[in-house]
Amino acid sequence: MKLWQRAAGALKDQNSIWAASFSRKSSYRNPNLEAAIIKATSHDELHVDYRNAQRVFAWIRTTPSSLKPLVWALSKRMEKTKSWIVALKGLILMHGVFCCKVPAVQKIGRLPFDLSGFQDGHTRPSISWGFNNFIRAYYAFLDHRSAFLYEQQSRRNDAPMVQEIFKLQKWQSLLDLLLQIKPQSKSMRVALILEAMDCLIIEIYDVYSRICSGVARVLLGIYSAEKPEVVMALKALQKATEQGEELSSYFEFCREFVIQIPEEDIEDLKRIIDGFNPEGKEEDAETKYEDTESKEFFDNFADEEKENAIAVSDQEQEKLKNNNNNKALTTIITDKWEVFDEGNEGNHHQNFETRNNNNPFLDSANILPLVPVPVPVPAYKNDLPDLILF
């Protein structure tokens, strides 16, 4: 929809709301309810006013007497409109009214407006034909559904088996009408059509569940039924089998119609999660330079640590232990565990006294510091043996 069409539609909605505000409240007029209906059936294709739609449903549930003003206002708007957007929103609103399960709704009978020959007057026929057929089929279903609810009130005197078969046949006919409501062109992949399809899918599940329940009740009473009733029941069962196959095809069509994410986008998302570049481009030169420089730094650091490490044999290690003149700390690299003898209390006391007799400044080299000296860990520390301090 073009910008000027949206502006013109918004202007029409405002004028309708302004005109409804001057009407007097009566048994057939309710200005507030009319304003809510106009907002819920606006000309905006990209927006569905759920808030005002829920207000209309709340009016019906709380005050059933507001059904007459609702039917009057909605019928007047449906008869005047030439926009498929307003017509479809009006049908969705009427569908929601039927789902309110108010006893007064079952007495409406046929719908008070007619959209069986609807034609959009704001779009080219090459584009609007799919929307026109969708609205006509949607209207046919709601019209028959409303008439069926009214007929149920007048067939309570029939035999129980006849009533069950009649209900089953009516539900099957409604399912046939539901399966006729489907988008027929790619241009119909819009939000409002998808919103209507959500309502229809829910209705299909409800109707089909009623058909299954009706089949079960008919099968329970088939043995006590008369021959004409058995013949009617057999036709209804054959019809249910055919509708099961049609229903599978309809769901497959809906699955293909819904916009799906392309496989290429899914693969790109997987590559991003795994750490790859989805477009296959080279990384920036600066980033590669930083990564190379960091790797060379850690490699050189590890090589220097290996070169500076002092490897000695076990004999040289014993010689260093017994050498009293060497007081400096030495790093020993070995693959064996080194066990230190803590000694008894006497030796500890003797060593303490001996150490006190020496020069504390010369002896301080043999005492480990209390604060650990941080030593840089090589990048490949797992490849190096353990470090032991003496």
Q: Indicate which CATH number applies to the domain containing 48.
A: 1.25.40.90
My answer on whether 51 and 199 are in the same domain is: no
- Please state the domain count of the chain: 2
Of 37-41, 149-153, 220-224, 361-365, where does the model show the most confidence?
37-41
pLDDT computed for residue 316 by the predictor: 52
pLDDT computed for residue 322 by the predictor: 56
Tell which wins on pLDDT, 47 or 334: 47
Q: How confident is the model at residue 192 (pLDDT cuts 50, 70, 90)?
A: very high
Asked if the structure places residue 186 within a domain, the reply is yes
* For range 137-158, the mean pLDDT: 84
Asked if the structure places residue 373 within a domain, the reply is no
My answer on whether 210 and 194 are in the same domain is: yes
Asked if the structure places residue 74 within a domain, the reply is yes
pLDDT computed for residue 370 by the predictor: 41
Last residue of a domain, one of 156, 188, 222: 156
pLDDT computed for residue 107 by the predictor: 85
Tell which wins on pLDDT, 191 or 389: 191
Tell which wins on pLDDT, 100 or 324: 100
Asked if the structure places residue 387 within a domain, the reply is no
My answer on whether 172 and 195 are in the same domain is: yes
pLDDT computed for residue 268 by the predictor: 79
Range of the domain at 65: 1-156
Last residue of a domain, one of 259, 278, 293: 259
Asked if the structure places residue 340 within a domain, the reply is no
Indicate whether this model's pTM tops 0.85. Answer: no
My answer on whether 163 and 139 are in the same domain is: no
My answer on whether 140 and 50 are in the same domain is: yes
pLDDT above 80: residue 184? yes
pLDDT computed for residue 371 by the predictor: 40
My answer on whether 2 and 151 are in the same domain is: yes
My answer on whether 67 and 131 are in the same domain is: yes
My answer on whether 146 and 3 are in the same domain is: yes
Of 191-200, 337-346, 376-385, where does the model show the most confidence?
191-200
Q: CATH number, domain at 235? A: 1.20.58.150
pLDDT tens-digit map of 244-262: 889 999 998 888 887 666 7
pLDDT tens-digit map of 294-352: 555 555 545 555 454 444 444 455 555 555 454 455 566 666 665 555 544 444 444 44
My answer on whether 90 and 61 are in the same domain is: yes
* For range 18-25, the mean pLDDT: 83
Asked if the structure places residue 328 within a domain, the reply is no
My answer on whether 141 and 244 are in the same domain is: no
Asked if the structure places residue 350 within a domain, the reply is no
My answer on whether 208 and 139 are in the same domain is: no
pLDDT above 50: residue 285? no
Last residue of a domain, one of 111, 126, 156: 156
pLDDT computed for residue 353 by the predictor: 43
3-state SS of the chain is CCHHHHHHHHHHHHHHHHHHHCCCCCCCCCHHHHHHHHHHCCCCCCCCCHHHHHHHHHHHHHCHHHHHHHHHHHHHHHHHCCCHHHHHHHHHHHHHHHCCCCHHHHHCCCCCCCCCCCCCCCCCHHHHHHHHHHHHHHHHHHHHHHHHHHHHHHCCCCCHHHHHHHHHHHHHHHHHHHHCCCCCCHHHCCHHHHHHHHHHHHHHHHHHHHHHHHHHHHHHCCCCCCHHHHHHHHHHHHHHHHHHHHHHHHHHHHHHHCCCCCHHHHHHHHHHHHCCCCCCCCCCHHHHHHHHHHHHHHHHHHHHHHHHCCCCCHHHHHHHHHCCCCCCCCEEECCCCCCCCCCCHHHHHHHHHHHHHCCHHHHHHHCCCCCCCCCCCCCCHHHCCCEEEC
My answer on whether 1 and 149 are in the same domain is: yes
pLDDT tens-digit map of 70-90: 999 999 999 889 999 999 999
